[in-house]
Structure 1
Amino acid sequence: MGSASFIVANITIGFLLLVAPSDAILIWIVVAALMCGLCARFLLGQHTRPDIAPDTQREGGLARLKVLMRDEGYVWLLLAVGCLQASHSFYYAFSTIIWKERGLSSDTCGYLWAIGVVAEVAFMAFGEGLHRQVGPWRMLVIAGVFSVLRWSIMAFLPPLWLLYPLQCLHAFSFAVTFLAGLELVHRLTPKGYQSLGQTVNAAYANGVMMGIGTLASGGIYTLLAGRGYGVMAVVALVGLLCGLRLYSQRERLMAASV
């Protein structure tokens, strides 16, 4: 639903900018955030936290975080997911600029963005069978392989006809990483720490690592321009290697988390 809303918002903002100044984007963001807060306040009921074990409920946040970060499997998972998601930072920040410099129109850039998100939504909607058959351990490795492949080819500034299938790989580089990460966090975190594990994973991968990648992307673009995707391929390779380590140790890690 979030990805589908992303498509709708992009299309709507595109039409809005034809008749309104660019400040309309800020108004849209503020209104959307306000609506999110109101919905959370009035549509979500009061729920307890059954995932927190009784013997850990009195622990402070820092003490719980220390317990979580002592878990070897969870730390390797953070490294894997963080690197794979951060490898998208250059793509998010500079793809449109690079495409326009190569002569692509704004409409074409919009189509390229849209097809990537459509592929992501399609996989999340219809890929459950593959997800169950392959399992999260191999899913994470597959995501790493396709991430390295995607950014490596992008570094060679491929023609437009090849950009479309490369954009479809967003279903693997992003969506598969996201889904595998969710399930593996649940499997690897100690009982009573699942919600904290999901929160830290999201904040680290999509906040800390993505933020660092975005900050670095400016300098990478200045030095390498479109070839900067190659740096993201290296970042994705680190994530893939961490995922392979997790896969090779999966039986021991699962036994330790029981």
Structure 2
Amino acid sequence: MTGRPSITLRLSFYYAALFSVIGIQLPYWPLYLSSKGLAAAEIGWILAASYLVKALTNPLLGHITDRHGGRRKGLIILAILSLSTTTLFFWADGFAAVLLATLLSSAAFTAMLPLGDSLTLQSAVRHRLDYGRIRLWGSLSFIVISGLAGQFLIDAPRSAILLSCLAGLVLALLAAAQLPDLPQAPGKSRQQPIGELLSRPVFLLFLAVCSLMQASHMIYYGFATLHWHAAGLSGTVIGGLWAEGVIAEVVLFACGARLIARFGPGRLIACAGIAGAIRWAVLAATTDPLFLAPAQLLHAFTFGAGHLGAMHFIMRAIPAGLSARAQGIYSAVTTGIVPGAAMLMSGRLYQSLGGYAFLVMASLSLAAWALAQPMRRRWTGGLICGHQEG
């Protein structure tokens, strides 16, 4: 147990630093892209590129990590690359230049979260740490940064959005440098073929369910701020709505150990689907903050419960020798390929349907709930490689 407080603190600081960047990017980056003269459909393509690039970088990084270990070193390199490539936006003008800058910067930055999750999950197993209580510091950082940013970024020069992201990336580099490292001991577990995992129907169902849930957030991530700003909501209200959803997520993460013990990963993932159908239907129907506020509380389930359930599924179902590759595949598919394709469509959907585009997202959430049922029936709760799934 020696060193647990120190490891917990360093991992928590890493999530706080990383999500200080996400707290700027997620709500306000579309405004920055709009200031570059890009139309809604073009913004959809740019945002989609940041998701789709994960399909190449994250599995490759997972393979390298499982083979050679050294997660901290990889995170430091990624932080340096992310910081340097993000500066390219100072000179990027026009769709093609912005797209190129997005591909380069996103290739590094989007790999930092799954590799950090892999390190945290391994630390949680070795040192009996609570993943949820570590991960919630990222959510708290998002709340503070997105809420404070709403006070001035809406009306400030759009270059302030880019400068804020760069400041957060400097903090992320400092945080990566002080992370613990867990070198993988040589052994047969490192040599397990990834094909064994990809041949398991329960793992494929898991990827499908989580992909649909992540994809259902794309109109929200890409166009909620633009939609609410066009409806006359102030920057303070918009920042508050974003922060409120993540506050609910933090509460769920704080109770994560008890929720997992009571319901298990499968039920939490299924719950995210039902919550998404309700949440997106409300966002489609109104821009009145009196109705948006309670709907935003459902973020605790649409993202929080889904993510917590997914991380515990990986922790329980995947052998240690496949953990980084499994995390990379999970990230590439569920937060890369599928939501990236959804983001490509989201620009045109929002341009054509406006707020009613959220109804399409509600249908994706219902599909996720439906697929979660056979996933739960197939998985007994143990390892899915080398053992029967149930």
* TM-score over 0.5 (shorter chain): yes
For 2:179, which of 20, 31, 44 is the aligned residue? 44
Whole-angstrom distance in 1 between the partners of 2:321 and 2:237: 48
1:57 matches 2:181: no
Offset of 1:218 from its aligned partner?
A: 0.4
Write the letter of the residue equivalent to 1:138.
Answer: R
Give the percent of matched residue pairs that are identical in Structure 1 and Structure 2.
30
For residue 77 of structure 1, what is the aligned residue in structure 2? 206
Whole-angstrom distance in 1 between the partners of 2:337 and 2:292: 28
For residue 13 of structure 1, what is the aligned residue in structure 2? 149
Offset of 1:116 from its aligned partner?
A: 0.7
For residue 174 of structure 1, what is the aligned residue in structure 2? 303
Offset of 1:174 from its aligned partner?
A: 0.3
Change in Cα spacing, 1:66 to 1:33, as seen in structure 2 (3 Å) is: farther
For residue 2 of structure 1, what is the aligned residue in structure 2? 138
Q: How do 1:122-201 residues align onto structure 2 when only pairs under 5 Å count?
A: 122-157=251-286, 159-190=288-319, 192-201=321-330
Change in Cα spacing, 1:19 to 1:180, as seen in structure 2 (3 Å) is: closer
After superposing the two structures, state which structure 1 stretch, 175-184 or 150-159, moved more: 150-159
SS at the partner of 2:321?
coil
Whole-angstrom distance in 1 between the partners of 2:301 and 2:276: 7
* Aligned residues of 1:157 and 1:227 also touching (Cα < 8 A): no
1:208 matches 2:344: no
TM-score by length of 2: 0.59
Change in Cα spacing, 1:169 to 1:189, as seen in structure 2 (3 Å) is: same
Whole-angstrom distance in 2 between the partners of 1:159 and 1:228: 17
TM-score by length of 1: 0.86
Unaligned runs of 5+ in 2: 1-136
After superposing the two structures, state which structure 1 stretch, 224-233 or 205-214, moved more: 205-214
> What RMSD, in angstroms, separates the aligned Cα atoms of the two structures?
2.5
Change in Cα spacing, 1:171 to 1:93, as seen in structure 2 (3 Å) is: same
Write the letter of the residue equivalent to 2:367.
Answer: V
Change in Cα spacing, 1:10 to 1:159, as seen in structure 2 (3 Å) is: closer
For 1:34, which of 170, 177, 182 is the aligned residue? 170
For residue 109 of structure 1, what is the aligned residue in structure 2? 238
Q: Alpha-carbon deviations, 1:170-214, whole Å to 9, x = none?
A: 000000000000111223334521232123212322222332222
SS at the partner of 1:135?
helix
Which has the bigger relative contact order, CA under 8 A and spacing at least 6?
A: 1
Change in Cα spacing, 1:153 to 1:10, as seen in structure 2 (3 Å) is: closer
Whole-angstrom distance in 2 between the partners of 1:58 and 1:141: 33
Offset of 1:67 from its aligned partner?
A: 3.0
After superposing the two structures, state which structure 1 stretch, 242-251 or 185-194, moved more: 185-194
Unaligned runs of 5+ in 1: none
Count of residue pairs the alignment pairs up: 251
Change in Cα spacing, 1:95 to 1:252, as seen in structure 2 (3 Å) is: closer
Offset of 1:257 from its aligned partner?
A: 4.9
Q: Alpha-carbon deviations, 1:40-85, whole Å to 9, x = none?
A: 23x12443125xx7125357xxxx4333312221111011111101
Whole-angstrom distance in 2 between the partners of 1:20 and 1:98: 19
For residue 256 of structure 1, what is the aligned residue in structure 2? 388
Offset of 1:233 from its aligned partner?
A: 1.1
Write the letter of the residue equivalent to 1:22.
Answer: R
Whole-angstrom distance in 2 between the partners of 1:244 and 1:137: 9
Change in Cα spacing, 1:252 to 1:139, as seen in structure 2 (3 Å) is: closer
Whole-angstrom distance in 1 between the partners of 2:262 and 2:349: 39
* Aligned residues of 1:99 and 1:109 also touching (Cα < 8 A): yes
SS at the partner of 2:353?
helix
* Aligned residues of 1:143 and 1:174 also touching (Cα < 8 A): yes
After superposing the two structures, state which structure 1 stretch, 4-13 or 143-152, moved more: 4-13
Change in Cα spacing, 1:91 to 1:142, as seen in structure 2 (3 Å) is: same
